[in-house]
Amino acid sequence: MESPKMSKITLKHLFIRGEKKIGLQFYPNKVLNALVKGLPEVKFSKQFNMAYIDNNKQNICLILNTFRGVAWVDGKYFFDKKNIRPLDELNALNLSEELSSRVPESYLNKLIIKRYANNTIRTYCSLFARFLNRYKNQDINDLGEAEIQQYMKELILAGKSNSFINQMINAIKFYYEIVLQMPNRFYELNRPIKREQLPKVISK
């Protein structure tokens, strides 16, 4: 039987329903289960497969005090300043209500965790929302390579630029390959051929 002193609980940054949360990732045992259940307003996320509570200074101190001497609190993912996204910075993304409701939380959360720039996050969410709106009467989990290829064909026929199509491909592939971690060979999209431009020659 595992000794409680050898247990470890890892803190993670989560972004759920527009709010910052502290994720608690651990291998369950009777001691840790009881301590976690005793935390204020603790909930469990099926999406991230871990318990979580509100992210504030009081809860951070409470976690450290609760598990002191019982389990090692691993904060390397949580206390690294590079991984912390202030709430006002998240609000600065200024995502429309339509984007926030249409784009899956897991998509936005992964972009934030990977430290994508605000402009890139807005672009990816906007493009991915357009793709989802094309198939708004279908469940996102029912969409596959056929629907993606069909949408790319429609963009080409609509005269969209190569740059726009490449960005759309990146936004869609991010969901399937990064968020869902599907093999990229299942969504190998043909990118537009880069147009060759004649070099500009300076006149005499």
pLDDT single digits (tens) 181-190? 876 655 555 6
Whether residue 176 has pLDDT greater than 80: yes
pLDDT reported for residue 204: 59
Whether residue 154 has pLDDT greater than 90: yes
Q: How far is CA 51 from the centre of its chain?
A: 17
pLDDT single digits (tens) 32-48? 999 999 999 999 998 88
SS3 196: coil
pLDDT reported for residue 101: 60
Domain ranges of the chain: 4-83, 87-187
- CATH number of the domain located at residue range(s) 4-83 in this protein: 3.30.780
Asked whether 54 and 23 are in contact (CB, 8 A), the reply is no
47: buried, middle or exposed (CB in 10 Å: 19+, 13-18, 0-12)?
A: exposed
pLDDT single digits (tens) 90-147? 555 566 655 656 788 778 878 877 878 878 888 898 899 999 989 988 888 788 888 8
Whether residue 1 has pLDDT greater than 70: no
pLDDT reported for residue 177: 86
162: its two tokens: 């190569």
CATH 3.90.1150.10 for domain 87-187: no
